[in-house]
């Protein structure tokens, strides 16, 4: 097929965020043999806006997407996040290309109503909607003829190409990479965790509690030389939701530590991820697992699970099968979380 993938590939970051889901979905679609034309929404808005400012180029970026679709005549327009693309733009494209399928994927939180209003406003225009959250939070958005489905955060063998469990020497016991900007609750949680962890555990933070962020090859090296990683999402009770760091950490072979609550046990077993209910439990289990290197067995099992079942090609294939109502979409571990209109 011809596919236009209109997402935010963050060209402006010069490769520093090469592991984002936009890139993985793009390469997953290409691995299936399709022609995939990338349209980087925010970058196009900056390029077309006055003074290189994104907000000054939104109208022009919408018009450019219309022209791109008319020039290419794709079979599928796959939108990624796409907050800047208006309802009117999608309607115009569909009017000119009545056989076109339109779908959208979204990997951010679904609990902040202001940030997902654009999904509510346009869902009836989509053939399918994909989110990394399942359950009512997802079905409350999709309506009309829009079918919705959960998708896991994908990995790619040439992006997540490290195996921390096979490394002989490690510089960090436990790491956390994530922002705490304007988030006092996360700051409190991280400070509480620091106080609760056993003194023998070296806990290193990046992008939070006053520590600098880390990107690109430096982040790659950090993951390779770390034993365990904290997979801390802002709402651990949302069904199957996790930050995309779960794919980055597990996909690079770290022991990934996740609070219970989101029922991620349906995706990753207790032998593939370290689950904990309290900081005290996390501390106790880490001390035990790190002492005799048994963390490596769990980390390797999680790495194998991700690269086998949640790789970018499989996620992309599921999305296409679901959009085109091919029953092959049922052959994935997360098929129970598909919702038909």
pLDDT at position 334 over 80: yes
The answer to whether residues 124 and 171 belong to one domain is no
> Do 132 and 241 touch, CB atoms closer than 8 A?
yes
Mean pLDDT within 242-253: 95
Which of 100, 141, 146, 111 minimizes the C-alpha distance to 125?
A: 146
Does residue 286 surpass a pLDDT of 90? Answer: yes
pLDDT over 80 at 12, yes or no: no
For the cut 90, the answer to whether the pLDDT of residue 174 exceeds it is: yes
**Average of per-residue pLDDT across 171-177:** 96
In a domain, 159, yes or no: no
Please check the confidence at residue 143 and state whether its pLDDT lies above 80. no
Tell me: do 276 and 328 sit in the same domain.
no
What does the alpha-carbon distance between residue 268 and residue 281 come to, in Å, rounded to a whole number?
19
Task: Say how many domains are in the chain.
Answer: 2
Task: Answer yes or no: is pLDDT of 290 > 80.
Answer: yes
pLDDT at 340: 84
Chain-centroid distance of CA 261 in Å reads: 19
Which CA distances in Å does 195 have to 190, 256, 283? 9, 20, 10
The answer to whether residues 72 and 110 belong to one domain is yes
**Which of 146, 156, 161, 90 is CA-nearest to residue 316?**
156
- Same structural domain for residues 25 and 122? yes
Is residue 341 very low, low, confident or very high in pLDDT (cuts 50, 70, 90)? low
Whole domain around residue 180: which residue ranges?
164-309
Residue 144, pLDDT > 80, answer no
Q: Are residues 321 and 290 part of one domain?
A: no
Query: Domain with 232 in it: what CATH number?
Result: 3.40.50.2000
pLDDT in tens, 150-172: 999 999 999 999 999 999 999 99
User: What is the mean predicted confidence (pLDDT) over 72-98?
Assistant: 97
In a shared domain, residues 123 and 212: no
For residue 132, give the 3-state DSSP assignment. coil
């Amino acid at each position: 097929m011809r596919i236009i993938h209109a997402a935010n590939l963050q060209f402006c970051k010069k490769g520093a965020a090469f592991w984002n889901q936009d890139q993985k979905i793009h390469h997953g679609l290409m691995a299936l043999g399709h022609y995939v034309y990338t349209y980087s929404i925010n970058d196009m808005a900056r390029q077309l806006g006055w003074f290189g400012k994104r907000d000054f180029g939104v109208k022009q970026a919408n018009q450019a997407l219309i022209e791109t679709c008319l020039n290419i005549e794709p079979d599928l327009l796959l939108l990624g996040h796409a907050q800047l693309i208006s309802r009117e733009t999608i309607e115009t494209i569909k009017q000119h290309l009545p056989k076109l399928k339109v779908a959208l994927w979204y990997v951010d939180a679904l609990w902040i109503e202001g940030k997902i209003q654009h999904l509510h406003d346009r869902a009836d225009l989509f053939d399918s909607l994909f989110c990394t959250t399942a359950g009512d939070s997802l079905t409350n958005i999709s309506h009309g003829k829009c079918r919705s489905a959960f998708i896991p955060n994908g990995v790619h063998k040439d992006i997540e190409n490290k195996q921390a469990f096979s490394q002989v020497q490690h510089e960090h016991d436990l790491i956390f990479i994530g922002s705490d900007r304007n988030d006092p609750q996360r700051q409190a949680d991280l400070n509480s965790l620091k106080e609760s962890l056993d003194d023998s555990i070296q806990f290193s933070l990046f992008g939070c509690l006053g520590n600098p962020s880390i990107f690109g090859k430096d982040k790659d090296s950090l993951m390779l030389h770390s034993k365990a990683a904290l997979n801390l999402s802002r709402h651990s009770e949302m069904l199957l939701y996790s930050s995309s760091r779960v794919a980055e950490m597990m996909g690079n072979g770290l022991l990934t530590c996740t609070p219970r609550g989101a029922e991620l046990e349906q995706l990753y077993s207790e032998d593939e991820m370290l689950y904990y209910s309290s900081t005290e439990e996390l501390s106790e289990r880490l001390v035990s697992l790190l002492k005799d290197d048994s963390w490596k067995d769990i980390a390797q099992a999680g790495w194998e699970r991700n690269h086998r079942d949640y790789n970018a090609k499989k996620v992309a294939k599921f999305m296409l099968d679901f959009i085109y109502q091919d029953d092959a979409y049922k052959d994935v571990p997360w098929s129970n979380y598909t919702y038909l209109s």
